[in-house]
Amino acid sequence: MSLFRTKNIDAMLEVSEHDGLRKVLGAVDLVLMGIGAIIGTGIFVLTGTGALTAGPALTVSFVIAAMACGFAALCYAEFASAIPVSGSIYTYSYATLGEIVAWMIGWDLLLEYGLATSAVSVGWSGYFQSLIAGFGIHLPTVLTAAPGAVPGEHTLFNLPACLIMLAITWIVSYGVKESARLNNVMVAIKIGVVLLFIAVGVWHVKPANWQPFAPFGMTGVFNAAALVFFAFIGFDAVTSAAEEVRNPRRDLPIGIIGSLAVCTILYVTVAAIMTGIVPFMKFEGVDHPVSLALQYAGQNWVAGFVDLGAILGMTTVILVMTYGQTRIIFAMSRDGLLPEALSTVHPVHATPYTATWTVGIVFAAIAAFVPLNVLAELINIGTLAAFTLISIAILVLRRTRPDLRRGFRCPGVPVVPLLAVGFCLFLMAHLQALTWIAFLCWIGLGLIIYFAYSRRNAVLHNHGGDAEG
């Protein structure tokens, strides 16, 4: 029994046609879903940290991170148009690289998406508490943060973070059409807030603040690129919606590439304006860099809108990441690698109900009880590993299934996929040793579960041997 047995692509496509999920999403929904997943803590929080690492050259860091994502996005787009099946890169790996690789990347994505939702929920909690404080409402200190999260304060439970996770879980479990509508409205407001910042801030830029442009040299630029890579995570969640898209072969590539392009332009513009208004050293210890830039510009009236944009931005990230994770669990369960109950589809709402609530409750608890101040890098390494594999997998797919119908073809194969691999490995090399240790521990746990449960319960195992022959 091979560890590298693969699933038959034609059989996968046949199953996806009769999965009970509703096909209701279009190209605009997917672009807005991608933007909803991408624009969140990255633009509202990480831009300040990135500026301290790279100086005004943060704009270059964003371009480098976007290029790494862009090359990988082209590979994602081809896969999504050729194999429009739930599960994102987990599914693509199962069809090309084999079961053990698919399991490991699926396990990796559970960590990436789960921790991303928990981390963003904690960020959302901070902004929400700041917002209600403006109205004179204050929560009891013990309910404001996880134990030990605030030095010198006795905290037990992050109530807002827990509640927003559970609220989003209910929305996702209720229906994909309803989730998409809510996401579209919030994304429209969020983009409006970012454009408002650009329109107001551009008149207060002082070019002298851009000098020196790269005070920490290219090392600082590359280190910042590895950090702000977090700001681009999310476009891959679009592929998780494959089985709920009306015309997936056409619309999925539009959703992936369109959302990444829009976000890159907004990020680079915002970073340039921020570092042009505020000397980069002033971002030290600031978790609201966009608001700080507006205060420097004497435009305090816009800061309230930015706080609203940040709250909505984080809400959409939680929504799309929760959605993406539930569809990956759904796909893994359908393949027998996770318990069968997790692929149960609700008879009325047509959503993977059990998977959704399992995800929601587990990560609501993590958001409530675990201080999440070091998660960005751990999420980054998981994503970079996924992007590396998708780029290798596209080369395998071209060789094994050149006949497969594709709505989009990645240009410049093999150069573009190999550039994606190179960029991703380069950024991974700039992450801390502790991040690598934590990542390898998670992968080790995944291997134990695979050999103890998943391998012998896999649908392919029960059907005997490789599905590809």
Per-residue pLDDT of 285-332, as tens digits, reads 676 788 888 888 888 788 778 877 888 888 998 998 898 899 899 999
| Helical spans, DSSP H, in 209-284 | 217-228, 248-277
Report residue 116 as tokens.
């991303």
The answer to whether residue 469 sits within a structural domain is no
The answer to whether residue 13 sits within a structural domain is no
- The total number of residues shown for the chain amounts to 469
Proportion of the chain above pLDDT 90, given as a percent: 45
pLDDT for residue 209: 93
Q: Which of the four pLDDT bands, split at 50, 70 and 90, describes residue 375?
A: low
Domain total for the chain? 1
d(C-alpha 73, C-alpha 93), whole Å:
15
The answer to whether residue 17 sits within a structural domain is no
d(C-alpha 295, C-alpha 311), whole Å:
19
The answer to whether residue 412 sits within a structural domain is yes
Supply the CATH number for residue 32's domain. 1.20.1740.10
d(C-alpha 126, C-alpha 189), whole Å:
20
pLDDT of 60 strictly over 90: yes
Domain span at 213? 25-458
The answer to whether residue 466 sits within a structural domain is no
The answer to whether residue 64 sits within a structural domain is yes
The answer to whether residue 370 sits within a structural domain is yes
The answer to whether residue 299 sits within a structural domain is yes
Q: How far is CA 37 from CA 81, 198, 225, in A?
A: 20, 21, 19
pLDDT of 465 strictly over 50: no
